[in-house]
Structure 1
Amino acid sequence: MMPYGMGMPAGGGSRATSRSHGNDCGRFCGNSMALYQQAARSFRYLVSNWDQATVLGSPSQMVPMRIMPTLLIALKEISLGLLKDPKLSTLIVPKKKIHGNHILPQAASTIPTLNGEAEGNTAGLNFEGTKLRIKKMFNKVDLTVSSYDTAWVAMVPSPNSLTDPFFPECVNWLLGNQLHDGSWGPPNLHPLLMKDALLSTIACILALKRWSVGEEQINKGLHFIKSNLASANDEELHSPVGFNIMFPAMIESAMKLDMNLPLGAPTLDALFHRREHELKRLSSQIGKEWIYVIQSVHVLVKIMEMHCGYGSNSEGWRAFLAYISEGFGKSQDWELVMKYQRKNGSLFNSPSTTAAAFTHLKNADCLKYLRTLLEKFGNAVPTVYPLENYARLSMVASLESLGIDRHFREEIRSVLDETYRCWLHGDEDIFSDAATCAMAFRLLRVNGYDVSADPLSQFSEDCFFNSLGGYLKDIGAALELLRASEFIIHPDESVMEKQNYWTSHFLKHELSNTLVQGHIFNKHIVLEVEDVLKFPSYANLGRLSTRRAIKYYNTDSTRILKSSYRCLNIGNEDFLKLAVDDFNICQSIHREELNHLARWIGENRLDKLNFARQKLAYCYFSAAATLFAPELSDARISWAKNGVLTTVVDDFFDIGGSEEELVNLIQLVEKWDVNVSVDCCSEHVEIIFSALKNTINEIGVKAFKWQGRSVTSHVIEIWLDLLKSMSKEAEWLRNKLMSTSGRLLNDIQGFKRESAEGKLNALTLAMIHGNRVVTEEETINEMKSVIMSKRRELLRLVLLEKGSIVPRACKDLFWNMSKVLHLFYAKNDGFTAHDMMKTVMAFQLLGNLEAPQCDCIPPNPDAFILK
């Protein structure tokens, strides 16, 4: 909750020098019950004084220099009870026209030339080339086609003759796309996807046999199946959805067609042996209308264990059985299955299920869907369609998490505008899928679009597990629902609170599953889930989050439904390459800035003040971790300098200065134009005032350069207010008084330590002076509830654009500082805690990143179709 330019406020925690009532970082950075209330009031201040604002930042990232210390001072004053203006109690933002131009930052976005001019030029060209390739990806969605689904479309008979295919082009595609080993499916197949190859191959064999063509291809395919059939029983391999039902069923179909399947009895027994003990359980968990379907098919699914407390419901089973209907053939109740038909004519957006349904029912909408696919993709179809909304939203989410979204603002805005249009029109492609709906909601809300949380109610715990995704335990969908649930901004969004609860518990349970943890295809999603659970959005700092995202980003976009597929818009090496290059560029600039700030401290003799804590690393960390873009260099430096000065002044008023020195410092700031060698009563006062004056004048010069007017007097006024509030607190300290408005985030963590030291804090006072007898745990929970409520109130003010005239980049400063505080005080007094100190120092010393290696399946460019 730090104003622009202020950085980390005066720190606290245990010190060698005793300080009354635990005077620490929380007191100055707003770790209090008033933290978010005052942030809202500061918005009113900004609006009321916007015509005096000077900003640093591009037109799309306006950052008012006028508000550098505003939040800090406002928070300080509220904790002291000095803000008495009743007008500040309202959160309504007055309508006021913004005047003046916005100044631009000093350009710092060029590629650093670290190894010579030629290398720098090459790096710049590569950087821009990568950006251009990504920009082009917004115009198309690259999706692989599926041999399995194409085979089922190829099996659809002509309405004019049952001996002829309806879609002969698909049959021809099968004839021309068998792999050299006799299989069908993706080339360069990962060994763990052998079951995918087996399922696709048997489907293609059945399609060719159906039309009595491709004898050579059939024989090669049968040989492949015989050679690799043992893999069908290998529990370590990744299975396509419904494999244990559909593969045995298609093997039996092939045997009925008198195909030469030289399969030994033990192998066949192993394929069918696991099903019998599941039959009774399956029959008991689904409706009676489905029982005869299962009993009439000589197969039994080995289904995922459903006894973990999630998803043991009949509707999820029904959806699953409908999704794999092609495995049941004529024994399926196709009229029952048709209740899952979507507006686009498909069943579950699955070409194979839809093709099987059309074969049995001749449904016109199914046919329309299949024809649309072939018009778009040619002679083959993907395993899922449509996917455009999900794919493009995934692009936006990836670019944001990797910290490179600022390079694609126009493209992202275009995607979000189109998504918002679809949202308002109730587009089925968005609302029928949990992951797509949750991702759309989160990205729209975070980017200022007015969206209701009501559509998320269809993905409550019961509803989710009564769906196909819930039955399949879709970790990715649950993760997106969890992320969306963190952006509650209205009191009536209880559905999101419940969603946050059940998704977090479900994901934690799934993380404990050794099968999930140990599977190579789950490696990246496991890391991503762990990250989201550990770092909620309100305590997730940009640069730290980006570095972690780069580590677990999966460039291998292989996913698996009934067959494996890839979408380059979802996982792409260019995303990772640009993210690594961009991170290293920013990190190089950050290291230079930190060196500059270290010299600044020495030049201003601040290191000579033995009573003052040296917190440059913390102050710069809070700036660079949130305002990381190269063009915001002035913002970071200003934030850090003011943060250092605030810490010094705080220590001066608390323990370092006499009453005479404190009064002298305030008088000097009031007069401003003074002779420091004469008017300063001590060397300490001279050092502090000189550093403060030099820094404020520097800010004023930079602001005047861009805006053509002086704001120095405004910054002086703000600092004078801060000094006077510190003087009042020093007076309270001498009189053994303390502010009772609380510093909740810090006090929760510091309660035990401060109680042992005989110090009061907000928890102590609440337990002593509350209206009822409460325990320590109850008091902490109540205070956490207050923090959560005020945090959501602040988030609402940041995200909602209607009626707000404050630029979003300015409002983001409030939210960024809130993130810093939540991270610092997640476990203890982070301003001095050892673990947090290690985090800060590690960030300060970060070297260049290299793209992490992944176990990728080599892409086949020919397998992608332009959509």
Structure 2
Amino acid sequence: MDLSSVQSSIQSLVNEMKEKMFSSNCDPYSFISPSAYDTAWLAMIPDPHQPSQPMFKNCLDWVLHNQKDEGYWGDSDSHGMPTNECLPATLACIVALKKWNVGTVCVEKGLAFIEANTEKLLEEMDNHAPRWFAIVFPGMVELARTVGVRLVFLPGSNGVISELFNTRQQILEKEKDAETYQSLPLFSYLEALPAAYEIDENDIIKHLSSDGSLFQSPSATASAFMATGNKHCVAYLLSLVQRSCDGGVPATYPMDEELIKLCMVNQVFRLGLAERFIEETEKVLAQVYRNYMNQESWAKPSNLVAAQQALFKDSLAFRLLRMHGYALPSDSFCWFLQHEDIRDQIENNHGYFSSAMFNVYRATDLMFSGEYDLQEARSFSKKLLEKTVSVGTRDQTHFISSNLPRLIEHELSLPWFARLDHLEHRMWIEEKDSNVLWMGKASLHRLSLPHNGEIILLAMQNYEFRQSVYKNELEELKRWSKDWGLSDMGFGREKTTYCYFAIASSTSLPYNSQIRMMVAKSAIVITVADDFFDMEGSLIQLKDLTDAVQRWDGKGLSGHSKIIFDALDNLVSEIATQYLQQQGRDIINNLQDLWYETFASWFTESMGGKIGSIPSMKEYLETGMTSIATHTLVLPASCFLNPSLPISKLRPQQYESITILLMLIARLLNDVQSYQKEKDEGKVNSVLLYLQENPEAGIEDSIAFVREILDKKKKEFLQHVLMDGYSDLPKPCKHLHLSCLKVFQMFFNSTNRYDSNTKMLQDINKAFYLPLEVGNSKPLIPLPHLQTGTKKEHPTINSYFNRPSKQYYIMSRSFATRPISWSTSTDYGPGKMFIPPKFRFCFT
């Protein structure tokens, strides 16, 4: 692969996306997916001056031209299949077409879909229809019959439909005179309420908002206008249509344009494209920050919908702004904790608020010391998210994003500190519905870029470009390790791939190849040398090697000691030479002193272990913070960042607090997962020393003690990384410290993955070798031979994918599509061939 041409292609697409997503003439509303249901309701409105014509013909045209091939209108789930939201949407579109006597073929296809799929979609709700569906679907059935649409349902549907009508009646009776609402009030579903509900014009007008809408619902407001002719309603609808895209209107209007922009930025970041849109995203975040800081207070939302949207936005803004160094106060989204009524609403409607709580929980990942309101928000949101995952959301509302519960589980099971950026980017690229915004009246609004396929394509190309770079660098690193004899020492751990995986997956491409290779080589030398001190060398050999490092002269060394020293000497010389060429200064003595400090700490530990001395906790940590060698990894590499680490920070007495915190945290993370191994080997660590100094304590008490220190120090460390004024290090250096900490948290989160020969393999394969799985792709299977150019249905594919198709195509990793061209090759067995892993099926 010609990486330069790939990089050029990626940059070209980046430039296109900058223009389409972030230029000054971009309309944020163009990023919201239209609602077929609400668009259909606007299409039903007669022109007051020409009642035989639709008032909004462009909405009717949208309905005519946006029916899915399968016959339905509305959104599909993450597998491309229709959801129960499609049933009322399809009925509403059929009614709109029927009313104006157009789209006969579309109506017939829609009715065929309703007949064939209603039973299946209703069964999937398992007698737990969401409140909105129990109101809207019966209303659309009645409306369709009123305009002469003949609905035919399969026999199995009738009982469920009858039950839905009963459920609606119970809701209407229970809530008709209610003055407070746990969910949206019934008037927000005005268009679907039965005639028997007896709503007069004054009641409708009384519920209109100042903008002329009924609860910002286009469909309800369309119904209100047809019932009252109110001038404020028509002004709202005209404004809505003017902002709509190609005739389709959103499910809620107006929408928070700033939230839309925040979601765009969030999408860019989690798809791994941050380094491609630095100026554009920084501009958005700077404006959002200014707006937040200009607010005099955090206003209490007036209703359930406003609370959900505000929580979603405020917590998302907090996370993005804090991650980028803005000092936004925690009460910018923790305001809900101070309002008992809002907390009660959230708890009673946990499914409706699950996307907001997901953002709240993620925001609390960035907690600093002393932020007790963030701790409370974390506990509160965690409890509700666990409830959402355990009992589901079917009794609350319907998720278009069927993947959200799985994303919640991922969030709860793996701490943010333990996630590597490269793998997180892969997860979000593969999530078709990762662009969820917030709950609306009936479903989720989604960030739906007009060129959404292009942003995903860009993310895929960017990810695969990284994979290519990483694979090349890994092979180069393996050669280096082998050439210097480090990969077959005959003892200890061979972790060349692990070391490179850790640095490559925890950072993005702005940390260039030079830095990745430098850190990976250092980690390899550290691993081999540490194992030599722990398990192989005699005390005399260890002293000789330590002395050689001190004087930086390998004369007299032999065997393993000489291999280690020679590799170290090569590495340090290489780093010093590169720095001299780039910066014009000689740092070889600084590097040698840094490495000697590390070797001296290993020797101190080994000598103590061999003679059986037991240090105090303070003495242990003073040595152990150095022997974990995180500073030996990040400080030399930081000298090559831009802006770079000052040379003075390479001296032990000059280490910044952030570096000392990194050293301490990494040591304690290792200790929590390695205490049993070290106890069996007669060694000590902080967990075992606490037990010794506190005889009344048990092992769980000791682990809890160390974890408590870890929790406190990680919050302090994060504040040093993200906020100005806590560390004099340049921002890139601080972020390299953060990447190093995340690597150690990943290795020692719940077990000692670094010592395992198997636990890292799946992640390594995903990071470097496995192609992305996007869309509806499934593992490929051998297929019977077809003649070249054959285009026809194939039973093997049909049975495997459980769906018919018109024509089969294969899709390459570059998203170029072309018909399958079968050859007569028998490379994979008589009359068979296998599509290479880089291809995926798509259906047209």
Matched, 1:749 2:673: yes
1:609 Cα deviation from its structure 2 partner = 4.7
The structure 1 residue matched to 2:504, chosen from 603, 624, 637, is 624
The structure 1 residue matched to 2:319, chosen from 442, 467, 474, is 442
Give the aligned residue type for 1:727.
Answer: F
How far apart in 2 are the matches of 1:640 and 1:323?
59
The structure 1 residue matched to 2:37, chosen from 148, 156, 168, is 148
- Structure 1 partner of 2:352: 473
The within-5 A match list for 1:833-848 is: 833-839=756-762, 842=765, 846-848=769-771
The within-5 A match list for 1:240-279 is: 242-252=132-142, 259=148, 271-276=161-166
Identity of aligned residues (%): 26
How far apart in 1 are the matches of 2:113 and 2:563?
83
Q: Which moved more, 1:219-228 or 1:238-247?
A: 219-228
Matched, 1:382 2:306: no
- Structure 2 partner of 1:487: 366
SS in 1 for 2:617: coil
How far apart in 1 are the matches of 2:461 and 2:350?
41
The within-5 A match list for 1:587-736 is: 587-606=467-486, 609-611=489-491, 613-629=493-509, 632-672=512-552, 674=553, 676=554, 679-733=555-609, 734-736=611-613
How far apart in 2 are the matches of 1:780 and 1:144?
49
CA contact (8 A) 2:357 2:384 kept: no
Give the aligned residue type for 2:356.
Answer: A
User: CA separation of 1:576/1:147 partners in 2, compared to 1, >3 Å: closer, same or farther?
Assistant: closer
How far apart in 2 are the matches of 1:571 and 1:199?
27
How far apart in 2 are the matches of 1:811 and 1:610?
37
Structure 2 unmatched runs, 5+: 622-666, 778-800, 807-844
1:624 Cα deviation from its structure 2 partner = 1.4
User: CA separation of 1:279/1:738 partners in 2, compared to 1, >3 Å: closer, same or farther?
Assistant: farther
CA contact (8 A) 1:396 1:412 kept: yes
- Structure 1 partner of 2:331: 454
How far apart in 2 are the matches of 1:390 and 1:613?
49
CA contact (8 A) 2:95 2:149 kept: no
1:475 Cα deviation from its structure 2 partner = 4.0
How far apart in 2 are the matches of 1:458 and 1:259?
51
User: CA separation of 1:667/1:551 partners in 2, compared to 1, >3 Å: closer, same or farther?
Assistant: same
How far apart in 2 are the matches of 1:703 and 1:179?
62
CA contact (8 A) 2:62 2:247 kept: no
The within-5 A match list for 1:501-520 is: 501-503=380-382, 506-507=385-386, 509-510=388-389, 513=392
SS in 2 for 1:713: helix
Q: Which moved more, 1:234-243 or 1:434-443?
A: 234-243
Give the aligned residue type for 2:282.
Answer: R
User: CA separation of 1:576/1:776 partners in 2, compared to 1, >3 Å: closer, same or farther?
Assistant: same
CA contact (8 A) 2:495 2:524 kept: yes
- Structure 1 partner of 2:816: none
Matched, 1:199 2:199: no
1:349 Cα deviation from its structure 2 partner = 3.8
User: CA separation of 1:695/1:207 partners in 2, compared to 1, >3 Å: closer, same or farther?
Assistant: closer
CA contact (8 A) 2:31 2:260 kept: no
1:701 Cα deviation from its structure 2 partner = 0.8
CA contact (8 A) 2:267 2:435 kept: no
How far apart in 2 are the matches of 1:574 and 1:216?
34
Give the aligned residue type for 1:717.
Answer: D
User: CA separation of 1:367/1:617 partners in 2, compared to 1, >3 Å: closer, same or farther?
Assistant: same
Matched, 1:400 2:265: no
Per-residue CA deviations over 1:517-573 (Å, capped at 9, x if unaligned) read xx9954433443333233221100122223333333448989985488764339922
Give the aligned residue type for 1:480.
Answer: N
User: CA separation of 1:397/1:553 partners in 2, compared to 1, >3 Å: closer, same or farther?
Assistant: farther
Matched, 1:534 2:413: yes
Greater RCO, 1 or 2 (C-alpha within 8 Å, sep 6+): 1
- Structure 2 partner of 1:823: 746
1:706 Cα deviation from its structure 2 partner = 1.2
Normalised to the residue count of structure 2, the TM-score between the two structures is: 0.70
- Structure 2 partner of 1:584: 464
How far apart in 1 are the matches of 2:91 and 2:248?
17
Give the aligned residue type for 2:11.
Answer: E
User: CA separation of 1:758/1:151 partners in 2, compared to 1, >3 Å: closer, same or farther?
Assistant: same
CA contact (8 A) 2:545 2:561 kept: yes
Matched, 1:235 2:158: no
Per-residue CA deviations over 1:442-475 (Å, capped at 9, x if unaligned) read 1111111121221323555973662699365354
Give the aligned residue type for 1:808.
Answer: K
User: CA separation of 1:225/1:787 partners in 2, compared to 1, >3 Å: closer, same or farther?
Assistant: same
The structure 2 residue matched to 1:321, chosen from 186, 197, 218, is 186
SS in 2 for 1:393: helix
The within-5 A match list for 1:103-142 is: 112-113=1-2, 121=5, 123-124=6-7, 126-139=9-22, 140=26, 141-142=30-31
Give the aligned residue type for 1:446.
Answer: M
The structure 2 residue matched to 1:352, chosen from 219, 229, 234, is 219
Give the aligned residue type for 2:673.
Answer: Q
Normalised to the residue count of structure 1, the TM-score between the two structures is: 0.69
How far apart in 2 are the matches of 1:699 and 1:336?
77
Per-residue CA deviations over 1:578-601 (Å, capped at 9, x if unaligned) read 233222222222222223223323
CA contact (8 A) 1:453 1:493 kept: no
CA contact (8 A) 2:76 2:400 kept: no
SS in 1 for 2:755: coil
Per-residue CA deviations over 1:207-241 (Å, capped at 9, x if unaligned) read 789xxx73567998599559836755541468897
Q: Which moved more, 1:479-488 or 1:723-732?
A: 723-732
Give the aligned residue type for 2:319.
Answer: R
CA contact (8 A) 1:824 1:836 kept: no
SS in 1 for 2:407: helix
CA contact (8 A) 1:438 1:484 kept: yes
Per-residue CA deviations over 1:801-835 (Å, capped at 9, x if unaligned) read 35654222211122212211221112222221344
How far apart in 2 are the matches of 1:533 and 1:583?
25
User: CA separation of 1:736/1:644 partners in 2, compared to 1, >3 Å: closer, same or farther?
Assistant: same
Number of aligned residue pairs: give it: 702
CA contact (8 A) 1:195 1:231 kept: no
CA contact (8 A) 1:350 1:383 kept: yes
- Structure 2 partner of 1:174: 60
CA contact (8 A) 1:403 1:579 kept: yes
User: CA separation of 1:288/1:827 partners in 2, compared to 1, >3 Å: closer, same or farther?
Assistant: same
Per-residue CA deviations over 1:387-446 (Å, capped at 9, x if unaligned) read 643443333223322222211111211222233234334599898433333222211111
SS in 1 for 2:32: strand
Give the aligned residue type for 2:496.
Answer: L
Q: Which moved more, 1:358-367 or 1:498-507?
A: 358-367
CA contact (8 A) 1:434 1:477 kept: yes
1:148 Cα deviation from its structure 2 partner = 3.1
